[in-house]
């Protein structure tokens, strides 16, 4: 299978690259190699490689910065998504487009199914929702998979940031009144690769099982790091409210996703978020050890 991944520098793309099935002929392109906002560039890349499947992970993901850069966020997340769909359609590729839990407003108290009404409350979420609509409008056979609270053991994400802060013995204040589900980019990548040979189209969700606040997530990182010998005595982690930690972009108070539809289609079951975190940190223990 010939697979093309956009957004090669992102955490999900890196996991997709490292977990690609051995029979896959893979091309991963970053923004410098394939700027998705430029349709002729995207078409040239796709025509040269002729992928059978395209996984579009490229996105503007700076949630707070997007509030002051609306045009750029929409250009990448909406126009870019449409361009990828147009190029995929041109060469006859299957398309999997990655989206976000931030298309929801957080008004629910039970997990969001894929067909739940959307109502983004920040620019990032609005731009990603528009990208979903444009991609599916160009290519109705595409699959949009939303995920939220993604983390990995490398790059810039909540796990790496919290572990680094804990090692500096910095007292932490972490929000306790936003609820979602920490989701392993490693397990999400494995699920995406399992879509080979499975006829999925339309909107799906993926997350690990359970729910947590950012405060819960931070505490579990500390406990797991201590158990694995990655951290000595942990500093205080203080729970704060969203109002005590204001940020430019509003966040949904609740954004847990219901993954049942995709899990059934793929005949797999996600791990709990605690199990996934432990597995990820155990697998990457050597890389997570502090520099000597």
Q: Which of 70, 71, 56, 65 is CA-nearest to residue 5? A: 56
Long-range contacts, 19-26 (Cβ 8 Å, 24+): 19/186, 19/189, 19/190, 19/193, 20/193, 21/193, 21/196, 25/1
Q: Can you tell me the distance from the alpha carbon of 183 to that of 257, in angstroms, rounded to the nearest whole number? A: 10
**DSSP symbols for 39-74:** HHHHHHHHHHH--SEEEE------HHHHTT-HHHHH
- 215 belongs to the catalytic site: no
Kindly give, in sequence order, each residue whose CB lies less than 8 Å from that of residue 167, ignoring residues fewer than 6 positions away. 231, 290
In Å, how far are 9, 65, 204 from 69, measured between CA atoms?
Answer: 21, 6, 28
Options 60, 102, 112, 124, the catalytic residue: 124
Q: Which of 273, 219, 284, 263 is CA-nearest to residue 114? A: 263
Kindly give, in sequence order, each residue whose CB lies less than 8 Å from that of residue 102, ignoring residues fewer than 6 positions away. 63, 120, 122, 124, 125, 128, 148, 251, 252, 255
Q: Can you tell me the distance from the alpha carbon of 116 to that of 203, in angstroms, rounded to the nearest whole number? A: 11
Strands (E), 82-236: 94-100, 143-147, 150-151, 172-175, 179-180, 183-184, 202-205, 212-213
CA atoms within 13 A on the CB side of 8: 15
Total residue count of the chain as it appears in this document? 292
Catalogue the active-site residues: 124
């Amino acid at each position: 299978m010939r697979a093309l991944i956009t957004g090669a520098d992102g955490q999900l793309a890196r996991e997709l690259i490292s977990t690609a099935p051995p029979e896959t002929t893979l091309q991963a392109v970053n923004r410098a190699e394939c700027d998705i906002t430029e349709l002729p560039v995207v078409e040239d890349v796709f025509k040269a490689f002729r992928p059978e499947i395209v996984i579009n992970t490229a996105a503007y993901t700076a949630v707070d910065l997007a509030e002051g850069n609306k045009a750029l966020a929409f250009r990448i997340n909406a126009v870019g998504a449409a361009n990828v769909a147009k190029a995929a359609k041109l060469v006859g590729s299957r398309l999997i487009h990655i989206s976000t839990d931030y298309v929801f407003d957080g008004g629910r108290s039970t997990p969001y199914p894929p067909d739940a009404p959307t109502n983004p409350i920040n620019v990032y979420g609005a731009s990603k929702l528009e990208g979903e609509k444009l991609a599916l409008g160009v290519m109705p056979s595409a699959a949009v998979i939303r995920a939220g609270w993604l983390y990995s053991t490398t790059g810039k994400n909540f796990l790496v940031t919290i572990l680094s802060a804990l090692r500096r013995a910095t007292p932490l204040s972490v929000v306790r009144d936003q609820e979602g589900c920490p989701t392993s980019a490693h397990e999400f990548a494995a699920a995406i690769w399992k879509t080979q040979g499975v006829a999925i189209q339309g909107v799906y969700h993926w997350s690990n099982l359970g729910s947590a606040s950012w405060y819960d997530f931070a505490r579990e990182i500390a406990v797991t790091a201590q158990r694995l010998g990655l951290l000595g005595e942990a500093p205080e982690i203080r729970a704060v409210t969203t109002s005590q930690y204001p940020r430019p972009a509003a966040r949904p108070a609740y954004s847990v996703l219901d993954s049942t539809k995709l899990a059934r289609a793929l005949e797999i079951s996600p791990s709990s978020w605690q199990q996934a975190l432990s597995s990820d940190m155990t697998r990457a223990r050597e890389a997570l050890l502090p520099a000597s």
